[in-house]
């Protein structure tokens, strides 16, 4: 009996290893240009150059072993907050899951941000590659912890409490009336009505990539550069 149990346990363990190896191969061996071509067809409003930079960062993050879920969120902060400048993709299935509004930090700029910071208490947005972590209920309701992977650009995000949460000032009705979204203290806030489904989609080890054509960032990031 013990021998049979041992054999079954070994087969179960071996099967899991095979599945894990397949999943890792699927995510880490993506061809960036091919994925840009496929994903951009599902999201015609995203700039292909931005998507390529985000996919490059996603691929490099997977190669570090940090990515546990094949979901990529792209935020293009070169666009004003009145635009739906956040895209959430299922990379494995090559699907667009969400295209919606997202806020930026109040000290990063008015309608369109132009200044970014990794400093504590700056109330500015941080650029770069993030990995999603666990969820919690805080003063902003259901929220998601983020871990910045890029030293000097966003690696203080967790300590700064830069998190994904819902906010009334990112609701479409408010944006339509005001002409822009409200601003956060550095968090990529989304509409309160969408916060729960978005957080549940991206939590647990997916990539969020915050883009802006900042030459200092683009020339020094080890994730964004090809």
Report whether 139 contacts 161 (CB < 8 A): no
Of 48 and 7, which is predicted with more confidence?
48
pTM: 0.88
Q: What is the pLDDT of residues 55-105, one digit of tens each?
A: 999 999 999 999 999 999 999 999 999 999 999 999 999 999 999 999 999
CB-CB contact of 174 with 75 (8 Å): no
pLDDT for the residue 104: 98
Residues 20, 79 share a domain: no
Q: Judge contact between 101 and 190, C-beta under 8 A.
A: yes
Q: Which residues contact 34 (CB under 8 A, 6 or more apart)?
A: none
| Burial grade of 44 (CB within 10 A; 0-12, 13-18, 19 or more) | exposed
Do 39 and 9 fall into the same domain? no
Residue 22 in domain:
yes
pLDDT at 217 over 80: yes
pLDDT at 60: 97
- Residue at 226 is within a domain: no
Number of domains in the chain: 2
How much is the pLDDT for 226? Answer: 77
> Taking the mean position of all CA atoms in its chain, how far away is CA 130?
6
CATH number of the domain within which 108 lies: 2.40.440.10
Per the structure, the complete domain to which residue 26 belongs is given by: 1-30
E strands in 51-195: 71-76, 86-90, 95-100, 128-138, 141-148, 163-167, 190-191
Residues 26, 70 within the same domain: no
Residue pair 155/68 in contact (Cβ under 8 Å)? The answer is no
Average pLDDT value over all residues in the chain: 90
pLDDT bin (cut points 50, 70, 90) of residue 2 is very low
pLDDT tier for residue 20 given thresholds of 50, 70 and 90: very low
Predicted pLDDT at 30: 87
Q: Residue 155: how many CB atoms within 10 A of its CB? A: 17
Residue 78 lies in a domain: yes
Task: Report in angstroms the alpha-carbon separations of 176 from 84, 92, 101, 182.
Answer: 12, 34, 11, 11
**pLDDT tens digits for 147-164?**
999 999 999 999 999 999
- Cβ atoms of 90 and 30 within 8 Å: the answer is no
- Say whether both 5 and 79 belong to one domain: no
Q: Identify whether residues 94 and 146 lie together within a single domain.
A: yes
Element (H, E) at 208: strand 207-211
pLDDT at 4 over 50: no
């Amino acid at each position: 009996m013990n021998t049979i149990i041992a054999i079954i346990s070994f087969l179960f363990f071996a099967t899991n290893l095979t599945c894990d190896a397949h999943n890792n191969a699927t995510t880490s061996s993506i061809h960036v240009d091919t994925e840009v071509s496929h994903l951009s067809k599902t999201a015609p409003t995203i700039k292909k150059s931005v998507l390529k930079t985000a996919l490059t960062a996603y691929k490099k993050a997977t190669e570090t072993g940090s990515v546990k879920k094949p979901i990529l969120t792209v935020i293009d902060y070169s666009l004003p907050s009145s635009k739906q400048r956040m895209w959430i993709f299922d990379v494995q299935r090559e699907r667009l899951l969400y295209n919606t509004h997202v806020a930026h930090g109040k000290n990063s700029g008015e309608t369109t941000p132009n200044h970014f910071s990794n400093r504590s208490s700056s109330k500015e947005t941080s650029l770069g590659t993030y990995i999603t972590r666990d969820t919690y209920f805080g003063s902003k309701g259901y929220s998601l912890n983020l871990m910045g992977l890029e030293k000097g650009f966003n690696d203080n995000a967790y300590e700064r409490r830069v998190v994904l949460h819902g906010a009334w000032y990112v609701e479409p009705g408010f944006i339509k009336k005001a002409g822009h979204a409200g601003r956060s203290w550095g968090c990529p806030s989304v509409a309160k009505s969408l916060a729960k489904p978005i957080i549940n989609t991206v939590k647990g080890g997916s990539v969020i990539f915050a883009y802006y054509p900042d030459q200092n960032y683009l020339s020094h990031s080890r994730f964004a550069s090809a």
